[in-house]
Amino acid sequence: MEVLVAQKAGFCYGVKRALSLAYEALKEGQEPLYSLGPLIHNPQVVKDLEGNGLKIIEDMSQIKKGALVIRSHGAPASVFTEAQNKKINILDATCPTVKKVQEYAEFLREEGYQVIIIGDKEHPEVKVIEEYAGKNSIVIRDKTEISQHIIQERIGVVAQTTQPGANFLSALSELLKIAKEIKVFNTLCTSTEARYKESVELARKVDVMLVIGGRASANTAHLTHLCRQEQPHTFQIEAADDIEIPWLDGKKTIGITAGASTPYWLIEDIREKLLSKFDGQ
């Protein structure tokens, strides 16, 4: 059996930066460190952070003193204001690419555009972008949802950073048919798009494709969907124990890719267990 691993699998720059800031603060240990929600969407890494002292909270009322690390998905302005009012130190680990989307959304709102956000309405990144975009903004998952909303004549368009480029362009083409004036910012993450492209190419070459990542990870879900379009035998897993032996029966090549919140040690652990279990055949 041959196991092929995508070169771009694993941590992206934004995740590496967020983890570096968090672990450095935890190592210094000068004050309690909190995260409003999981810092990243990977259960193994979150568990390790908690083991090192990070306290995950769901509401700002749960923190009285200490420091707050803003997760890579960002946070609304109200969180920064409340932290400052409580004299809570802030470590802003918002992904720089995500922060640009927030800035664009706020700019479009101030310029009087109705902001259209292409993405998953329930995703933390999108919820924050909505706050910057204002009450008049609309979130659509894809072009099929456009007809469910009232689209104004002047619109501004941004996207969740992990959206596949094809979905972004498809929705944009439909919006162009409706609006009289449209201003678009390409807010797609280039490293994520490169990961999608490489993973799809790998999926075409193998008998089975494994996508490693947290079940709450949007980019991992997109990776799984895109790979499955090319290789029906595509499965999303969080750990080696998730692999079911029937998936691999009679298969000679296995491809592995991973979401942006997946640590390399986990990718390597799964690769080694695959080779060990099947004696490298």
- 194 has a pLDDT exceeding 70: yes
Cα angle: 88, vertex 92, 96; to 5 degrees: 165
Q: Are residues 199 and 168 in the same domain?
A: no
pLDDT at 263: 95
163-183 burial code (b ≥16 CB/10 A, e <16): bbeebbeebbebbeeebeebb
Q: pLDDT per residue over 163-181, tens digit each?
A: 999 999 999 999 999 999 9
Q: Are residues 178 and 212 in the same domain?
A: no
- Residue with the larger pLDDT of the pair 245 and 129: 129
Q: pLDDT per residue over 57-112, tens digit each?
A: 999 999 989 999 999 999 999 999 999 999 999 999 999 999 999 999 999 999 99
| CATH code, 39 | 3.40.50.11270
Q: Are residues 84 and 130 in the same domain?
A: no
Q: Are residues 180 and 106 in the same domain?
A: yes
pLDDT at 278: 59
The confidence band for 281, taking pLDDT boundaries of 50, 70 and 90, is very low
Q: Are residues 135 and 205 in the same domain?
A: no
What is the domain range of residue 104? 97-188
- 280 has a pLDDT exceeding 60: no
- 141 has a pLDDT exceeding 90: yes
The confidence band for 29, taking pLDDT boundaries of 50, 70 and 90, is confident
Q: Are residues 110 and 128 in the same domain?
A: yes
Q: Are residues 47 and 129 in the same domain?
A: no
Q: Which is the catalytic residue, given 2, 58, 82, 125?
A: 125
CA 119 to CA 56: how far, in whole Å?
A: 25
Q: What is the mean pLDDT of the chain?
A: 94
Q: Are residues 179 and 203 in the same domain?
A: no
Q: Are residues 46 and 108 in the same domain?
A: no
The confidence band for 219, taking pLDDT boundaries of 50, 70 and 90, is confident
Pick the closest to residue 137 from 111, 153, 156, 124 (CA basis): 156
pLDDT at 1: 84
| CATH code, 207 | 3.40.1010.20
Q: Among 113-127, 152-166, 211-225, whose mean pLDDT is lowest?
A: 211-225
Strand 181-184 relative to strand 208-212: parallel, antiparallel, unpaired? unpaired
Is 125 tagged catalytic? yes
- Residue 117's H or E segment, with its range, is strand 114-118
Domain boundary among 59, 93, 127: 93
Q: Are residues 196 and 261 in the same domain?
A: yes
Q: Are residues 272 and 218 in the same domain?
A: yes
pLDDT at 277: 74
Q: Are residues 168 and 232 in the same domain?
A: no
Domain boundary among 161, 188, 215: 188
pTM: 0.88
Domain boundary among 188, 221, 239: 188
Which single residue is written with the structure tokens 């162009």? Answer: 176
Total structural domains in the chain?
3
